[in-house]
């Protein structure tokens, strides 16, 4: 049986359905999951184990049998902890079948099959009774249903159902309680991820300013949470306007409600400024007394920053207020946390909702189109004035008074820049209706609706009439396309250049004129954990999970690189960056495969965790834009990555450690190929140690 999976197609610039083996989705789910990261989260595991031991002891001290319901069991780890702690029986619920199958094997491998029953269902489908999945209700509820936002994976409805149907009243719960915290800040950097700033373009006629439409300024933004590694945001990038505020708590040992609610906290701002962003995180207490606590607090709010646990499955949240509002030091305001069954959002009010009777029951939704077309890194990229200046300087060198320009990028402001720089005529292709509507709004706000011609069709369908019979003298792209996931997916620009070849005039200037693919071998401070085998976890054998993840990663003959925003994941370069492939945009896409093979020498000691790949776009011979490294690699400092782009990470299945033997330079051999027919870039990296042995 075959299944259809959506995948970015660099040839067409769209997400297309491709036929795959029926196991493909399962393998991708497992390969890209956070299971390995959770197993490596020692702080989480220890705190859960302590909480489980304490809960089982309390039940036993009451002279009762300890009957455990474990919702979202995953590997079965928490159930095995419970049995080891003295639980009489565990019902381990796991809805994802491959994971449930693995849990059965792991439980059996560790010798707990007689005391743990794995139930492959959603917890809301579990039945209780003589013929049910459980003969009676449990008196200990163990769950790990949380995401970075706490409730985004449906924790509240699951708890609500469990208390009504699956567990005894006043049961023990691990965790016992969760508390959500918030801190109000002013941050131009983070605010730039949500709003369009005025864009300044320096021209011969003076400074021209591209302004956002009023709809964009009023729009509350995307409804989804922005989850990031907040510890990687420099304290110099925001101004604290409040102390850390406990916003609301959920007691998991009692009946939980998934109904919409709001919780307000009045506070005196600690500084005056523009309230723009709410930073938020949570902690869970594993016991009723709150002595066993697992916290997601960033380093500046952590009780012991030296004991900070790195984790990627739980991070921190950035929420954007609907509008920025001024606050004055010492003048009280109310921060309000709203939530429904799956989402949290915030608002700032001068008085508490209870006093003014005004509660925003509905979560904010984008009504300006921009937040649907541009993700948050894209907002940041468009608002990057230095990047804009670099494009403007490059454009000045290629534009002439009689230039006829065709711009090809999704929702790009390049077309407005070239108009301000004096091009005679400007056309821009916007393939999607959403981008077409958005750009029309932006043009109108800047009185350019009659100056820039928007063509709403796919590039290969472009006609001479669309261009008013003109030949294009300058073809432009950033390039940026909303469907791109990996760095080379933006090579769709090359396919567009090929598709419109007949409309290009003699001596046409293509900008960027070329692109190149680069790679560097790195040692990650922490990100390696998401792909590292665990083996033994708190005394339990989870090799079966390791093997399952490895099998999923090896499902395709060629391993695939993964997109990661590496500004959030510190790493050191162990080699010099190396150019792997080049792509000449001044010529159409060639029919033949582009092939590169070679080796990268490891010049610095460290663990070779993987290769990072990125694209560089050569706007002109003198101007290059990097989507990866922003400055040369340094022996002592971490790599500096473009914060607006995701880089591609190819994790090595084994790691060479040059600290073991430095008899001769270790190398990483590579074979990288670009397939013009599909737009795919395939790769294989092989590690060699000092003796020339391959891994």
- Find the catalytic residue in 153, 538, 560, 576: 153
Q: Give me the helix-helix angle, 77-84 and 97-109, nearest 10°.
A: 30
SS3 annotation, 584-618: ECCCCCCCCCEEEEEEEECCCCCCCCEEEEEEEEE
- CA 444 to centroid of chain Cα atoms: 33
For 421, which DSSP code?
A: T
Which residue is associated with the tokens 């984790």? 311
Measure the CA–CA gap between 625 and 619, rounded to whole angstroms: 7
- In DSSP terms, 186 is beta-bridged to 239
- In DSSP terms, 649 is beta-bridged to 562, 612
Buried b (16+ CB within 10 A) or exposed e, 177-190: bbbbbbbbbbbeeb
Say if residues 104 and 174 touch (Cβ distance below 8 Å).
no
- Find the catalytic residue in 94, 144, 149, 160: 144
Say if residues 545 and 75 touch (Cβ distance below 8 Å).
yes
Dihedral sign of CA atoms 693, 562, 26, 141 in order? positive
CB atoms near residue 594 (< 10 Å): 17
- Greatest CA span in the chain, whole angstroms? 90
Q: Where are the beta strands (DSSP E) in 187-315?
A: 199-203, 206-210, 226-228, 239-240, 245-251, 261-267, 273-285, 293-295
144 included as an active-site residue: yes
Measure the CA–CA gap between 682 and 672, rounded to whole angstroms: 6
- Which tokens hold the place of 487? 């760095």
460 included as an active-site residue: no
- In DSSP terms, 6 is beta-bridged to 17
End-to-end CA distance of the chain: 35
Measure the CA–CA gap between 146 and 155, rounded to whole angstroms: 6
Q: Which residues contact 683 (CB under 8 A, 6 or more apart)?
A: 558, 559, 561, 613, 650, 670, 671, 672, 673
Catalytic residues: 144, 153
């Amino acid at each position: 049986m075959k299944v259809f999976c959506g995948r970015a197609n660099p040839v067409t610039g769209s997400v297309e359905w491709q036929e795959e083996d029926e196991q493909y989705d399962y393998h991708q789910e497992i390969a890209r999951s956070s299971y390995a990261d959770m197993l490596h989260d020692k702080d989480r595991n220890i705190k859960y184990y302590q909480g489980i031991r304490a809960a089982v002891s309390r039940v036993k001290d009451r002279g009762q049998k300890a009957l455990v319901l474990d919702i979202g069991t995953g590997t079965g780890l928490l159930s095995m902890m419970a049995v080891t702690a003295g639980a009489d029986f565990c019902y381990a619920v796991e809805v994802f079948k491959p994971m449930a199958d693995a849990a059965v094997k792991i439980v059996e491998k560790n010798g707990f099959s007689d005391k743990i029953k794995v139930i492959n269902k959603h917890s809301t489908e579990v039945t209780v009774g003589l013929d049910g999945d459980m003969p009676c209700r449990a008196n200990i509820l163990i769950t790990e249903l949380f995401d970075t936002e706490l409730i985004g994976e449906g924790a509240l409805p699951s708890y609500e159902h469990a208390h009504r149907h699956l567990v005894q009243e006043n049961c023990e719960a691990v965790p016992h309680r969760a508390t959500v915290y918030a801190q109000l800040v002013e941050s131009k950097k983070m605010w730039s991820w949500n709003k369009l700033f005025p864009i300044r373009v320096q021209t011969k006629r003076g400074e021209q300013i591209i302004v956002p439409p009023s709809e964009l300024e009023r729009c509350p933004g995307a409804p989804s949470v922005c989850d990031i590694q907040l510890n990687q945001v420099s304290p110099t990038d925001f101004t604290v306007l409040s102390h850390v505020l406990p916003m609301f708590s959920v007691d998991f040992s009692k009946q939980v409600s998934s109904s919409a609610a709001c919780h307000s906290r009045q506070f005196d701002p600690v500084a005056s400024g523009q309230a723009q962003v709410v930073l938020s995180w949570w902690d869970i207490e594993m016991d009723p007394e709150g002595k066993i606590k697992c916290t997601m607090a960033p380093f500046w709010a952590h009780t012991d920053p030296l004991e900070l646990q790195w984790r990627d499955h739980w991070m921190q949240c950035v929420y954007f207020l609907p509008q920025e509002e001024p606050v004055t030091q010492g003048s009280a305001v109310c921060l309000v946390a709203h939530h429904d069954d799956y989402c949290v959002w915030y608002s700032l009010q001068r008085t508490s909702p209870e006093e003014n009777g005004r509660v925003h029951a509905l979560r904010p939704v984008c009504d300006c189109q921009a937040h649907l077309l541009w993700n948050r890194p894209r907002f940041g990229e468009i608002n990057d004035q230095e990047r804009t200046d670099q494009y403007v300087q490059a454009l000045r060198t290629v534009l002439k008074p009689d230039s006829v320009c065709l711009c090809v990028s999704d929702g790009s402001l390049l077309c407005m820049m070239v108009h301000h720089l004096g091009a005679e005529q400007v056309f821009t292709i916007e393939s999607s209706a959403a981008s077409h509507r958005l750009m029309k709004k932006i043009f109108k706000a800047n009185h350019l609706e009659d100056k820039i011609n928007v063509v709403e069709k796919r590039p290969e369908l472009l006609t001479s009439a669309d261009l008013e019979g003109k030949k294009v003298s300058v073809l432009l792209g950033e390039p940026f396309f909303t469907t791109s996931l990996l760095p080379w997916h933006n090579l769709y620009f090359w396919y567009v250049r090929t598709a419109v070849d007949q409309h290009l005039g003699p001596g046409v200037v293509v900008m960027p004129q070329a692109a190149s693919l680069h790679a560097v071998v790195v040692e990650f401070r922490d990100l390696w954990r998401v792909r590292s085998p665990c083996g033994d976890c708190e005394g339990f054998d989870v090799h079966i999970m390791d093997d399952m993840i490895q099998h999923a990663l090896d499902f395709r003959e060629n391993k695939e690189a993964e997109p990661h925003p590496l500004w959030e994941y510190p790493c050191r370069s162990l080699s010099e960056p190396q150019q792997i492939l080049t792509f000449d945009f001044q010529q159409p896409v060639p029919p033949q495969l582009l092939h590169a093979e070679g080796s990268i020498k490891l010049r610095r000691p460290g663990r070779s965790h993987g290769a990072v790949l990125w694209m560089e776009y050569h706007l002109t011979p003198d101007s290059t834009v990097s989507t990866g490294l922003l400055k040369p690699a340094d022996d002592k400092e971490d790599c500096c990555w473009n914060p607006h782009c995701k880089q591609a990470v190819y994790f090595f299945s084994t790691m060479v450690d040059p600290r073991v033997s430095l008899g001769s330079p270790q190398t990483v051999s590579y074979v990288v190929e670009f397939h013009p027919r599909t737009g795919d870039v395939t790769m294989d990296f092989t590690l060699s140690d000092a003796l020339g042995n391959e891994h």
